[in-house]
């Protein structure tokens, strides 16, 4: 954003004279920027709502729970995409959370000191990989492994659950969930490490002095204290998983159906928007896609809000007990 | 046996953090069921000495110690001694009360029992330990309330009850009253009088009157050196070392 070139020198001069004017200008500039961010978000919402309006008028609220989607015959239901998004994100978090908590404990409490930087670097690398590369890896490595090994094994061991029934084809909810798990691992791990840092050392000492091993001290004092924050970390990871587009599009199978089995192909909100927006025919189709965008926006806002509240609650809790 | 047995015997203890030696060879004996007070200015190694006695010192990265420490004539640092096991025999109360904030009052007390997988609901032990810690009457109606709702003095007595629940033989107390008001302090001191019938107690204190009131023997540390130790009365009225006399009469520190 181009700032008037004379603001900064003026602020410097007034700082020498007494500082008030410079402070005011600085504040005003910050408020302007903060307001601009909100305004952009608001405009995006308005624009989306505007594009969605024809579809909303035609389809009504039923759009939200219809479970079929066929633009050619005019069927527009959001449910397959909402379902696919939620299911893949749930799989991702179920896989990523235990691994992340384990990694966070390894990095901050238990791991051999010499190994920690190596693991920490590996996690940073995961965070830097572009999502299309994850998608390619998913197609060429993960999907065959799931199809030939993991899904048959799961079907044998847990096939009595509807979750693990049906033909093992590789592409589908499970593949998308596993990729998402790897992608959100860095976020969840680093937030969990931050949460563990807020646990007062005195609690660890209290457990150790009672005759706890290091692991028992973690179970008894560290994890219970950080519980809400770790849930917050999981929700932040979930927020990332919900919006992830490219990698999911490449492995979820892109079929707008609802299946109980994780082996089945499905679709997600971001994936269908990315795939169909360019060739959407007619304002109802376009509007339905925009409405899907609004639904995704709503889900993300709800989750991020919940995550932030939980993390803040933990910060307050640790401040209280440190007193 | 004619003389009372020594519960703890320390010979030539040195302790360090990395390259920094903070205790330069300390030797003293602690008779069974007695109270030893450790006095000395800040930073002279009192806490470190205490933490060597339950092997908490070695948990700090880079920290270590040498010399002999005997508990019931057995070497604390022998390869056969499991430090985790040892810490159940040598309990510790810290300077700042540190109850587990996620647990109720009762569960704080029974935490060590659950750790040791003692079966049962522990209600009896909880009551006995809270009575021993002179806290029972104040909390008996809210045993399931969170421990964080207690006052500082109550929290510290809760921590004492928690330490007692695993039935240690020795109780280490690191300035247990320094964060408390005078009334709570008096309660903790009364408690120490009670407890020494059954436990050997080592208490670090900044407060000279407190040392004189509660202890049988006193050790004076200065700059990592154990200057003098002996019967409390002697240390306070007729010390052998000039530095001890200067300190207990308030000339420095
Ligand atoms: N965790 C630590 N790491 C490094 N040095 C420490 C640590 N804790 C204490 N020390 C040093 O060890 C010395 C003795 O400390 P401490 O035993 O806590 O003294 P006191 O309890 O008598 O005040 C001090 O010089 C202190 O700076
Ligand atoms: Mg100290």
Pick from A292, A273, A78, A263: nearest CA to A152:
A263
Mutation for testing the A interface, residue in B52, B93, B112, B152 having most A CBs under 10 Å: B112
Q: Is the CB of B48 under 6 A from ligand 1?
A: yes
Is A224 an 8 Å CB contact of chain B?
yes
Q: What is the DSSP letter of A64?
A: G
Ion ligand 2: residues, CB < 5 A: B 47
Contacts of B100 in chain A (CB under 8 A): 203, 206-207, 220-221, 224
> Residue B28 pLDDT > 60, yes or no?
yes
The answer to whether residue B49 scores a pLDDT higher than 60 is yes
Distance of alpha carbon B89 from alpha carbon B13, whole angstroms: 20
Mean pLDDT of B27-50: 96
Structural domain boundaries in chain A: 7-57, 62-322
Q: What is the ipTM of this complex?
A: 0.93
Q: What percent of chain B has pLDDT over 70?
A: 98
Q: Among B87, B159, B166, select the one facing A208 at the smallest CB separation.
A: B87
Give the predicted TM-score (pTM) of the model.
Answer: 0.83
**DSSP assignment, residue A4?**
P
The pLDDT assigned to A15 comes to 46
A320 contacts B91? CB cut-off 8 A: no
Is residue B3's pLDDT more than 90? no
pLDDT of A121 above 80: yes
Write the pLDDT tens digit of every residue in B146-202.
Answer: 999 999 999 999 999 999 999 999 999 999 998 888 988 898 899 899 999 999 999
A110, A208, A210: best mutation site toward chain B, by most B Cβ within 10 Å? A210
Q: Which atom of ligand 1 is nearest to the CA of B221?
A: 22
Beta pairing partners, B91: B171
Q: What is the pLDDT of residue A6?
A: 44
Q: Please state which architecture CATH assigns to domain A62-322.
A: Orthogonal Bundle (1.10)
Of all residues in chain A, what percent carry a pLDDT higher than 70? 91
- Reported as a single tens digit per residue, the pLDDT across A220-263 is 999 999 988 898 899 889 988 999 999 999 999 999 999 999 99
A209 touches chain B (CB under 8 A): yes
- How many angstroms separate the CA atoms of A253 and A270, rounded? 13
Q: What residues of chain A lie within 8 A of the CB of B166, using their CB?
A: 210-211
- Out of A133-142, A176-185, A279-288, B83-92, pick the least confident: A279-288
**pLDDT per residue over A46-100, tens digit each?**
999 999 999 999 999 999 999 999 999 999 999 999 999 999 999 999 999 999 9
Q: CB-CB: which of A113, A208, A227 is closest to B59?
A: A208
Q: Do B98 and A213 touch (CB under 8 A)?
A: no
Task: Provide the 8-state DSSP code for A75.
Answer: E
Average per-residue pLDDT in chain B? 94
- Residue among B24, B39, B48, B207 whose CB has most ligand 1 atoms within 8 A, to mutate: B48
| Å from CA of A202 to ligand 2 middle | 14
Tell me which residue in B94, B112, B115 faces A202 most closely, judged by beta carbons.
B94
* Cβ–Cβ below 8 Å for B101 and A321: yes
Interface test with A, best of B101, B165, B179 (most A CBs within 10 A): B101
> Residue A5 above 50 pLDDT?
no
H or E stretch covering A76: strand A75-76
Once rounded to an integer, what is the mean pLDDT over residues A124-131? Answer: 94
The pLDDT of residue A234: 92
């Amino acid at each position: 954003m181009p700032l008037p070139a004379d603001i900064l020198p003026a602020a410097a001069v007034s700082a020498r004279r007494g500082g008030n004017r410079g402070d005011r200008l600085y504040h005003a500039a910050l408020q302007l920027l903060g307001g601009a961010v909100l305004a952009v978000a608001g405009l995006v919402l308005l624009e989306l709502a505007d594009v969605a309006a024809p579809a909303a008028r035609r389809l009504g609220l039923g759009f939200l729970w219809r479970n079929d989607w066929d633009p050619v015959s005019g069927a527009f239901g959001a449910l397959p995409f909402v379902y696919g998004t939620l299911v893949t994100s749930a799989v991702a978090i179920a896989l990523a959370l235990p691994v992340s908590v384990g990694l966070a404990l390894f990095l901050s409490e238990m791991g051999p000191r010499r190994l920690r930087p190596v693991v920490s670097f590996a996690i940073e690398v995961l965070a830097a990989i572009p999502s299309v590369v994850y998608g390619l890896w998913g197609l060429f490595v993960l999907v065959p492994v799931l199809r030939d090994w993991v899904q048959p094994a799961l079907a044998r061991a847990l096939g009595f659950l509807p979750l693990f029934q049906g033909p093992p084809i590789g592409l589908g909810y499970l593949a998308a969930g596993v990729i998402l798990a790897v992608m959100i691992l860095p976020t969840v791990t680093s937030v969990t490490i931050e949460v563990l840092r807020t646990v007062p050392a005195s609690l660890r000492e209290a457990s150790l002095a009672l005759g706890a091993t290091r692991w028992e001290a973690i179970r008894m004092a560290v994890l219970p204290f950080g519980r809400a924050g770790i849930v917050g970390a999981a929700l932040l990871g979930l927020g990332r998983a919900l919006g992830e587009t490219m990698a999911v599009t490449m492995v979820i199978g892109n079929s707008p159906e609802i299946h109980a089995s994780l082996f089945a192909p499905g679709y997600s909100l971001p994936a269908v928007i990315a795939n169909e927006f360019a060739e959407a025919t007619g304002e109802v189709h376009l509007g339905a896609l925009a409405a899907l965008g609004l639904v995704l926006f709503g889900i993300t806002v709800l989750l991020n809000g919940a995550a932030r509240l939980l993390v803040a609650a933990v910060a307050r809790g640790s401040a209280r007990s440190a007193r | 046996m004619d003389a009372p047995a020594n519960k703890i015997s320390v010979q030539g203890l040195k302790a360090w953090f990395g390259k920094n030696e903070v205790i330069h060879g300390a030797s003293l004996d602690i008779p069974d069921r007695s109270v030893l007070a450790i006095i000395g200015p800040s930073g002279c190694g009192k806490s470190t000495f205490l933490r060597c006695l339950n092997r908490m010192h070695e948990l700090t990265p880079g920290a270590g110690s040498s010399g002999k420490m005997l508990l019931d004539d057995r070497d604390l640092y022998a390869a056969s001694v499991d430090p985790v096991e040892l810490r159940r025999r040598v309990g510790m109360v810290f300077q700042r009360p540190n109850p587990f904030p996620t647990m109720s009052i009762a569960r704080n007390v029974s935490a060590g029992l659950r750790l040791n997988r003692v079966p049962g609901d522990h209600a009896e032990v909880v009551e006995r330990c809270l009575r021993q810690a002179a806290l029972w009457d104040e909390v008996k109606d809210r045993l399931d309330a969170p421990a964080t709702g207690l006052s500082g003095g109550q929290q510290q007595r809760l921590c004492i009850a928690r330490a007692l629940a695993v039935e240690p033989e020795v109780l280490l107390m690191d300035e247990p009253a320094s964060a408390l008001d005078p009334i709570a302090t008096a309660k903790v001191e009364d408690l120490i009088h009670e407890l020494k019938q059954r436990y050997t107690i080592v208490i670090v204190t900044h407060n000279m009157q407190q040392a004189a009131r509660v202890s049988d023997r006193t050790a004076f540390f200065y700059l990592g050196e154990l200057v003098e130790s002996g019967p409390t009365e002697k240390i306070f009225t007729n010390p052998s070392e000039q530095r001890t006399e200067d300190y207990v009469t308030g000339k420095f520190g």
